[in-house]
Amino acid sequence: MGIIKDRFKAKSDQIGLDIKALIKDHGNKKIGEVTLAQVYQGMRGITGLVSETSLLDAQDGIRFRGYSIPELQAKLPKAPNGSEPLPEGLFYLMLVGDLPSEEDVNHVTSVWQRRSHVPNHVFATIEALPVNTHPMTQFVVAIMALQTESQFQKNYAKGMNKKDYWDAVFDDSMDLIARLPRIAAYIYRRKYKGGEHIQPNGLLDWAGNLAHMMGYEDEGFKELMRLYMTIHADHEGGNVSAHTTHLVGSALSDPYLSFAAGMNGLAGPLHGLANQEVVKWIYELREQIGAEVPSKQQIEEYVKKTLSEGKVVPGYGHAVLRKTDPRFTAQMEFGKKHMADDPLVNTVWNIYDAVPPILQSLGKVKNPWPNVDAHSGALLVHYGMVEYEFYTVLFGVSRALGVLSSLCWDRALGFPIERPKSITTDLVKLWLEGKGEIWGD
Ligand code: AMX
């Protein structure tokens, strides 16, 4: 076994024993109550999942294995002359549970380089789609085409002992993560650069190589990709992409099938597609007023128009967060450092001034503050990546790090198939009349 696999195995065996003891000694303890409103309203606030890789606090935002984004920026190894963390380090942290050394991170980079070969039939499958197909659709189709490579699926068909599930899921996850940058870049170059593809550079780190294969050689863009891939990787277990990957994986669908399912969820406008919607919304605003940098008053009027048309303001609000998303703040800091005068970036900051009071005034929006998607597009546009329909693919490449390391944990801990109880409104009415039972068994 490789060193990362050995360390993961040792750590997960130990946590597995801890969990057995927890369930034996405390399994009957109640951890909350569920109201009828929660059942009807998106299960908000119901604790029902275990996801070891990260934890979200409504006020402080995301922590990966206990570390905030600024702490990761300080503690994780960087590329030579770089100042942003290498996402390989975050992956190691989420998977193994400890901060990696520089050597560990270099090891992850070289393992992913070795495993990054994408078979030709995957490119042929992408090519079979009309070129104007949304990049997220092309991305999901490519991941499904790559499923032919699943070790888990092959071993299961041969008759795998359940003790070995984690091992095949680990290998599939490493292979899939290693191959995603090539697939993403291929889709980008196919759709927007006339199909002029760029071969990988075996000397670059995972995110740097993604930038290179998309055609961006600016060191600032490579740094942005390292930061971007780090901060979008995980947001605990209940968000749509993480939860879907976990749920589908619980049926022992292999990592390719599970991750593709999660990516279909990320492609929704209330989740990962919000990053393209933000830039689209700003472009439409600019077009309407005929100016590059809208004033605060023009922004306010446009926000009110958006709301009056029954639409959401993209990039604002969150199901769990109740403060400005630290992922927004990290990108704002990057913007101040690298492009303080950029007109689109400045517009994003002006929107940050204008939107929260308006959303607050509606009295129903639980979080009027910006989320990760409010900022990311403007940074990409600064480096020339104006094709906003592609942005969610970048989010997806990053999200693989979190949801696939979580999937390794799911199988190592032997989590069962997920199957919550659902009810009907007729049953609720009977129960309220004292005539029916609403509890699951
Ligand atoms: N603009 C307008 N209305 C909003 C809003 C926004 N940005 N955010 C919330 N609301 C509305 C909701 O639509 C809901 O209205 P309704 O009662 O008429 O249906 C009401 O406020 C209460 O919603 P909530 O409890 O505050 O939010 P939620 O948990 O139901 O939804 C989210 C969370 C993110 C889907 C929502 O805030 C939203 O639609 N935001 C815009 C889209 C977006 O930026 N999504 C990206 C989120 C981060 C991510 O996953 N990548």
In ligand 1, the atom with minimum distance to the C-alpha of 311 is 2
In degrees, rounded to 5, the angle at the alpha carbon of residue 18 between the alpha carbons of residues 75 and 61 is: 40
The pLDDT score that the predictor gives to residue 2 is: 87
In terms of Cα–Cα distance, which of 378, 280, 296 is closest to 332? 378
The pLDDT score that the predictor gives to residue 1 is: 61
Helix 102-114 to helix 3-26 angle (10° resolution) is 110
Which amino acid is present at 120? N
Known catalytic residue: 246?
Answer: no
Alpha carbon of 368 to ligand 1 centroid (Å): 9
Alpha carbon of 77 to ligand 1 centroid (Å): 36
Alpha carbon of 319 to ligand 1 centroid (Å): 7
In terms of Cα–Cα distance, which of 407, 327, 312 is closest to 370? 327
Question: Taking the CB of residue 32, how many other CB atoms lie within 10 A of it?
Answer: 9
Sign for the CA dihedral angle at 99, 101, 104, 106 comes to: positive
**H/E element, 140:** helix 135-146
Alpha carbon of 318 to ligand 1 centroid (Å): 6
CB 175 within 8 A of CB 115: yes
Residues of the chain with pLDDT under 70: 1, 441
The pLDDT score that the predictor gives to residue 441 is: 63
Nearest CA to ligand 1 atom 9: 365
The pLDDT score that the predictor gives to residue 7 is: 98
| Burial category of 430 from C-beta neighbours within 10 Å (exposed 0-12, middle 13-18, buried 19 and up) | middle
Backbone angles phi, psi at 85, to 5 degrees: -65, 150
In terms of Cα–Cα distance, which of 209, 237, 236 is closest to 221? 209
The pick from 136, 312, 323, 391 for probing ligand 1's pocket by mutation, whose C-beta has the most ligand atoms within 8 angstroms, reads 312
Mean of the per-residue pLDDT values for the chain?
97
Q: How far is CA 57 from the centre of its chain?
A: 17
pTM score, two decimals? 0.98
The pLDDT score that the predictor gives to residue 437 is: 84
In ligand 1, the atom with minimum distance to the C-alpha of 371 is 48
| Burial category of 183 from C-beta neighbours within 10 Å (exposed 0-12, middle 13-18, buried 19 and up) | buried
